[in-house]
Chain A
Amino acid sequence: MDASVTRQDPRYQALLRGHNLRFPENASMGPARIVVCTTPADVHRALQTAVHDGVRPTVRSGGHCYENFTANNPGGVLLDLSQLSTVDLDPRTGEYCIAPGAVLGDVYQSLYKRYGLTLPAGSCYSVGAGGHISGGGYGLLSRLQGLSSDWLEAIDILTVDASGKVIERRVDRKNDPDLFRACCGAGGAGFGIITAFRFKDLPVAPREVVEVGLRFPWDTMTEQQFIALLTTYGDYWATRGCDPDTWGLFALLGVGPKREDGWLGLHMQFCQPDGKVDDVSVLREFMAKFDRFNSELISSPHREFANAATKPTARQPASAAYKPKRIPWLEAATSDRSGGNGARAKYKSAYMKRSFVPAEARAIYRFYSGNSITARSSVISIDSYGGAVNRPQLAAETAIAQRSSTMKLQWQCYWFDPAEDAQHLRELDAFYTSIYTGEHVGPHHQGTPWGDRYEGCYMNYADIDMLRYPYWPELFYGRDGLYEFLQKVKQSYDPNNVFHHAMSIRPA
């Protein structure tokens, strides 16, 4: 039975809050009602009522949206699907069913404990399946197993037809194949409400992984050393990192503000392609690339990154000193890696097909050597990417166009004071734009990661700043006609544009 929470209800404020406290931008932007649904039938009913009443429905599952796609809905209704959170095997079809409100940590727990399986999805426990899988969610196993949406067999979705009637559909490669393809990566972009993700096969979870961290003295690092560090890192992913024996290696290089006694951190998780960790030579080989940067080992990367003042554990080259410590994969997958809890935030992203050029690295170095409030509040996570994600046939089968990239960058900026909003948004945007301005970017795409070296941006890291570029659909959906395809799907399945937000697929 659903619960309808109006503005007068004492629960309203609590239910309105998503992960990013920047939204809604002010009280009057919030929806008139929040409907907490517990079954797909509740969702159907609430959606039909919204359409009938002529009010805009927005949908929230895990509430981790980076932009104001759900909470900003003046006069409208927010459908909260967080209570649709089951992870089950459907005995009729033999499919694993993940409800949209299930959070990733629980998905990992359920799939692993009950079936020994996993989903190559994100690293944050509390992210919801609803937005994450439909947007092509990726994580530490994605180089080995692809994106979470690459494994979809079918989805259950509610659409609204031209006459305003809500239609329940099970879509797959045979039934409504175009809608199915659209939902494999662009599902949150305005076709309907997904009430279940269905998987026939899922990868077997690794039994164990090794986790290790390196850190580099940041405060004394020169610009030249930083450029060398970034290019070393980028070169690896663009070359050796494409070899299948390395696909079990995931790395994240975090670049944040330069502080006294500060460190740059590189976090790695590794297992062999067969899910074992008997042989860590690939990992060691990767680590050895960084010995010349005075790297130091840290064994519990998450904790160490949070406290950069912790003493190093070894004085010899890190790659040689390293003694792998295995941990159960489940422990690694469900450790809390969420960032930005209780904060206001802004994020940006870029896919990179090649290594860094000096101009990019220089712009990053200079920004973080400065003392701006945004530099002090932000970090760039440079994730390894590619591997199984880049199987070429997937571009035509799914709605994720980026199948050639070897790194994925994410800018994250966090703060608490609403008075700082404008400054952070402006400064982060200017910083990002500066990185993609110069000869390394084509003349028509200045300011954006687009061209030979780049593959645009990630829709699950939604960023409305990019809307100012008329070619923004290309940045998110590529150049090979995917956006036009999605517009056709939109026209067929949501002809009235009932489901829309700032970056949803626009009617043709």
Chain B
Amino acid sequence: MDNKSTLSRRTFLAGAATCAAAAPALLHSAVHTPFRQTLLHVATRASHSGYVHTFLLASDGCTLLGSTRTDSLAAFAVHPVLPTLYVARDCREWEALPRGVIETYVVARSMSPLRLVAQTPMALSATGPRSIGVSPCGRHLLVSASTGGAWNAFALDPDGIPSLVAITRKETGITLEPGAVSMPTPHGLVFSPRGPHALGTDPGTGCMTLLQPSSEAIAVLARQQSPYGLTLSSPVWTNDGLYVIVGNAQNASLSLYRMPAVLEKGSEASFHLASTVPTFTSVTALVAHASLPAVFTSRRQASGSRLEQWKIDRSQLRVITDAWVSGNVVTLAQDGGSLWAVSDDRLIRIAIEELHNPNRFEMPLPMHGARAIVTQSLPAHVIDAHS
């Protein structure tokens, strides 16, 4: 660890305690039930080194459990039921071969909250992972390999460990626009809350692809060309499974896509553009509402960021609440009644009910370079079992 990037646990804990004292009401709202505990993982990266900082959200405060060094972190995701965190590392080579690597960590409530249990190489030439997703059934893990122009899938065993064999799907020449030649750069992806299929976005070709991973192959169920290009931010799938929202690259806007209601094996799948709405400035982060067919977005505005909650109303996106926060919000997460935002130097929690309320929980992040956050809600005994 170099001194500059060293994260002082004491500074962090002090910060957390101060904030806890200042906003006890907010902290209370983070706790769902007496039997569940919620963790928040914040990934930071400076050059090739980085950390995942794991916080425990409790009724009496927000505690930093510990920080785990994870070099070259590109993306992370949590398992839907197991105390497991997956990290995709954007190394140029893994064990001297050109490919990324997926690291699997068991999460525990201890001072070393992440314990590395597996390192699973991506397929040969699957370089540049950018997004990682786990199917709601917890049996498949999908990763984009942006510079490798491919998607990779891994079967997850009952302990959540990825199989050693990565199935790869190379996106050579997939553009749907006649005559256009563009290099594929698979980037964002999101699983449907309803099944083991995911929507992948490729800003290089402007293609959106409905993918279905299995232990033998990654099937393409349907493809759509975005008329407005695609941003680098991952799309989101609404909690009812009916819509996907993507950020458009060519103009500052969001598009809403209607997804197939049921996907049966062998059945024809298609999805289509339902509507597009301008956002004035480009959306930099999106997250789905956990319990409603709604979505939260963040975009730059003045010297800060505008957070907006969108509702879907007759196949149209409509802002229902918004708020302005100082600083550049780079990523969002949602859990229970709270929206979590990370800016360059702060972790912010906002009660969804009071999005515009300026009285927010804010905590300084002593280390710059926040990339991603994710919340993980697990039964207490599950997290404690590994402590």
Contact = CB atoms under 8 A, between A and B. Distances in A.
Contact of B173 (A29, A162, A467, A506): A162
Interface in A466-508: 467-468, 495-498, 500-502, 506-507
B98 interface: yes
Contact of A54 (B96, B169, B175): B169
A95 B25 CA distance: 86
Contact of B174 (A75, A164, A502): A164
A467 B170 contact: no
A55 B170 contact: yes
Nearest to B214: A75
Q: Which of B124, B163, B216 has the most CB of A within 10 A?
A: B124
A32 B216 contact: yes
B96 A56 contact: no
Contact of A74 (B96, B149, B166, B170): B166
Interface in A140-177: 160-165
A500 B218 contact: no
B123 interface: yes
A338 to B, nearest CB: 29
Given A467-B96, A467-B97, A165 B168 contact: no
Contacts of B217: 32, 55, 75
B69 to A, nearest CB: 23
Given A51-B173, A160-B172, A497-B149, A468 B96 contact: yes
B165 A28 contact: yes
Given A75-B217, A163-B173, A496-B170, A501 B124 contact: yes
B123 A74 contact: yes
Contacts of B163: 28
Contacts of B168: 54-56, 74-76
Interface residues on A, range: 20 to 34
Contacts of A467: 96-97
Interface residues of B, number: 30
Interface in A209-235: none
B181 A163 contact: yes
A502 B165 contact: no
Contacts of A76: 168
B171 interface: yes
Contacts of A74: 123, 165-168
B122 to A, nearest CB: 12
Interface in B166-211: 166-175, 181, 183-184
Contact of A162 (B124, B150, B169, B183): B183
B220 interface: yes
Interface string B124-150: 110000000000000000000001111
Contact of A498 (B172, B175, B183): B172
A56 B149 CA distance: 12
Nearest to B173: A164
Interface in B251-268: none
Contacts of A54: 150, 168-172, 174, 218, 220
Interface string B296-321: 00000000000000000000000000
Contacts of B97: 467, 502
B218 to A, nearest CB: 7
A496 B149 contact: yes
Nearest to A495: B183
B148 A497 contact: yes
A165 B218 CA distance: 21
Nearest to B169: A54
B173 A496 contact: yes
Interface in B88-108: 96-98
A32 B167 CA distance: 10
A487 to B, nearest CB: 13
A69 to B, nearest CB: 10
Contacts of B172: 51, 54, 160, 164, 496, 498
A310 B39 CA distance: 75
B385 to A, nearest CB: 31
A496 B165 contact: no
Interface string A54-85: 11100000000000000000111000000000
A272 B171 CA distance: 56
B4 to A, nearest CB: 26
A497 B97 CA distance: 14
Contacts of B147: 507
Contacts of B184: 496
B173 A497 contact: no
Given A54-B170, A55-B168, A75-B167, 13 more contacts: A51-B170, A51-B172, A54-B171, A74-B167, A74-B168, A75-B168, A163-B173, A163-B175, A164-B173, A165-B173, A468-B96, A496-B173, A497-B125
The 4 lowest CB-CB distance pairs between A and B, nearest first, are A164-B173, A467-B96, A54-B169, A496-B172
7 contacts: A54-B168, A54-B171, A74-B166, A75-B168, A467-B97, A497-B148, A501-B124
Interface of B: 96-98, 123-125, 147-150, 163-175, 181, 183-184, 216-218, 220
